[in-house]
């Protein structure tokens, strides 16, 4: 089959794939891309994704029988990656599900103070969410607890009065919906996937971590890398997912300096953020080089960034930084052009989204 890289660099193909579609992550790539990379470039395991997001690389590798490691600064991303890559016992899930079906959610306590977003929910729905969360955390053990919680996290956004739009949340008017039927339907769909997809294979190692400093990995400990870093000025992950983070986790503390206006990087002009991004990516490429075995390959999906007064391509710069970090270039493939869209001065402009394949010098 001819590779459809323009599609595969997006999350869209995952929407039709069991388990991959348990949590929609607009910034993700898709399973066919990982399979194409592994087979096409003869990637050896263990395979690392230092920006693992919701675990597309990790789950694909698990299903291909490859050992995999993943890191991400977002506790939400790490949680989702883990829940999608555990081996579940179908019988046990079925038994535990009957307890969920008969649970009557009741929340009598005051709302926790940090629930600044309470207005995003109908009060009775928020009570239901908090009661189910407490039930899943306290009454079930891992991995079943994580399985149900993932279904709850996904269902919570559906019953809120917001929608994700780019890097932020937009208030929308929806008719009040009860959580429980949506949640039960989601769990049933997930259980169907667990029945269809073999629940065997090595579970990937997934942990919160910063790709600039992969402290958990020693030198020359991974065979290959398949990854996609945040794009220059695209999504500020902590704010795009702040609803889930506040309800179920805490906000991540470290970010690549990729987003103009992100927490801690308030800059009056875009030039410093562009420089900061490439400085951070230089550090990431050095770290990738350190942990790879000699001759190990890194497949990196990256797109350029749009600013009000300029469009910045990232692929050439990353290749240059890769060469400086001790890689040689195997291939640079253009996947598609991304329109700059809303940035007025750049109407009609596009930036490239590319796949860079590097090899650590022997």
Ligand X SMILES: C[S@@+](CC[C@H](N)C(=O)[O-])C[C@H]1O[C@@H](n2cnc3c(N)ncnc32)[C@H](O)[C@@H]1O
Question: Does 300 interact with ligand X (rule: CB under 6 A)?
Answer: no
Choose, by CB under 6 A, the member of 53, 70, 75, 305 that binds ligand X: 53
69 makes contact with ligand X (CB under 6 A): no
Q: Could you tell me which stretch among 174-182, 186-194, 197-205, 229-237 binds ligand X (CB under 6 A)?
A: 229-237
Nearer to ligand X, 29 or 135 (CB): 29
Residue 45 beta carbon to ligand X: minimum distance, rounded to whole angstroms: 18
For 36, the token pair is 């194409």
- Which position's Cβ is nearest ligand X? 53
Q: What phi and psi values does residue 248 have, to the nearest 5 degrees?
A: -120, -20
**Whole-number Cα distances in Å, 68 to 43, 52, 60, 85, 302:** 12, 10, 9, 10, 21
C-beta closer to ligand X: residue 76 or 93: 76
SS3 assignment for the chain: CCCCHHHHCCCHHHHHCCCHHHCCCCCCCCHHHHHHHHHHCCCCCCEEECCCCCCHHHHHHHHHCCCEEEEECCHHHHHHHHHHHCCCCHHHHHHHHHHHHHCCCCCCCCCCCCCHHHHHCCHHHHHHHHHHHHHHHHHCCCCHHHHHHHHHHHHHHHHCCEEEECCEEEECCCCCCCHHHHHHHHHHHHHHHHHHCCCCCCCCEEEECECCECCCCCCCCEEEEEECCCCCCCCCHHHHCHHHHHHHCCCCCCCCCCCCCCCCCCCCCHHHHHHHHHHHHHHHHHHHHHHEEEEEEEEEEEECEEECCEEECCHHHHHHHHHHCCEEEEEEEEEEEEECCCCHHHCCCEEEEEEEEEEECC
Contact with ligand X (CB under 6 A) among 228, 262, 270, 354: 228
Site string for ligand X, 27-46 (x = CB under 6 A): xxx-----------------
- Comparing CB distances to ligand X, the nearer of 180 and 212 is 212
CB of 169 to ligand X, least distance (A): 16
Q: How far is the CB of 197 from ligand X (least distance, A)?
A: 17
Nearest approach in angstroms of CB 54 to ligand X is: 4
Contact positions with ligand X (CB under 6 A) in 237-256 = 237, 254-256
Q: Which two tokens stand for residue 168?
A: 């932020």
Q: Which of these ranges, 68-76, 186-194, 326-334, 343-351, lies near ligand X under the rule CB under 6 A?
A: 68-76
* Single residue of 9, 47, 66, 77 touching ligand X by CB under 6 A: 77
Q: Quick one: which segment of 83-91, 98-106, 142-150, 224-232 binds ligand X (CB under 6 A)?
A: 224-232
| Among 56, 60, 224, 354, interactor with ligand X by CB under 6 A | 56
**Contact track, ligand X, 173-212, x by CB under 6 A:** -------------------------------------xxx
Q: Does 21 engage in binding with ligand X (CB under 6 A)? A: no
Confirm or reject binding of residue 51 to ligand X (CB under 6 A): yes
Q: Does 82 bind ligand X (CB under 6 A)?
A: no
**Interface positions with ligand X (CB under 6 A):** 25, 27-29, 50-51, 53-54, 56, 71-74, 77, 210-212, 228-230, 237, 254-256
């Amino acid at each position: 089959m001819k590779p459809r890289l323009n599609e595969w660099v997006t999350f869209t193909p995952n929407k039709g794939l069991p388990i991959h579609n348990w949590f929609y992550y607009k910034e993700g790539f898709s399973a066919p891309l990982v399979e194409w990379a592994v087979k096409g470039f003869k990637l050896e395991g263990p395979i690392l994704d230092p920006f693992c997001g919701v675990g597309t690389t990790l789950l694909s590798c698990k299903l291909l029988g490859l050992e995999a490691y993943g890191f991400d600064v977002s506790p939400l991303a790490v949680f989702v990656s883990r829940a999608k890559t555990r081996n579940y016992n179908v019988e046990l899930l079925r038994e535990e599900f009957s307890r969920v079906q008969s649970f009557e959610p009741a929340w009598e306590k005051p709302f926790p103070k940090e629930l600044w977003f309470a207005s995003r929910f109908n009060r009775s729905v928020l009570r239901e969410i908090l009661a189910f969360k407490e039930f899943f955390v306290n009454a079930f053990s891992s991995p079943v607890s994580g399985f149900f919680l993932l279904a709850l996290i996904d269902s919570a956004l559906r019953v809120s009065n917001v929608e994700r739009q780019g890097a932020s949340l937009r208030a929308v008017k929806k008719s009040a919906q009860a959580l429980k039927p949506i949640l039960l339907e989601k769990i049933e769909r997930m259980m169907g996937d667990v029945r269809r997809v073999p629940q065997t294979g090595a579970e990937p190692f997934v942990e919160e971590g910063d790709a600039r400093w992969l402290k958990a990995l020693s030198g020359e400990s991974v065979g290959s890398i398949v990854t996609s870093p945040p794009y220059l000025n695209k999504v500020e992950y902590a704010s795009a997912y702040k609803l889930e983070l506040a309800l179920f986790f805490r906000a991540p503390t470290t970010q690549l300096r990729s987003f103009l206006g992100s927490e801690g990087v308030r800059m009056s002009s875009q030039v410093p953020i562009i420089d900061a991004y490439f400085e951070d990516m230089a550090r990431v490429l050095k770290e990738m080089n350190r942990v790879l075995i000699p001759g190990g390959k890194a497949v990196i999906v990256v797109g350029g960034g749009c600013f009000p007064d300029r469009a910045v391509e990232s692929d050439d710069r990353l290749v240059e930084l890769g060469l400086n970090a001790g890689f040689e270039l195997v291939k640079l493939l253009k996947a598609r052009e991304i329109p700059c869209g809303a940035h007025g001065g750049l109407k009609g402009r596009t930036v490239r989204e590319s796949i860079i394949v590097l090899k650590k010098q022997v």
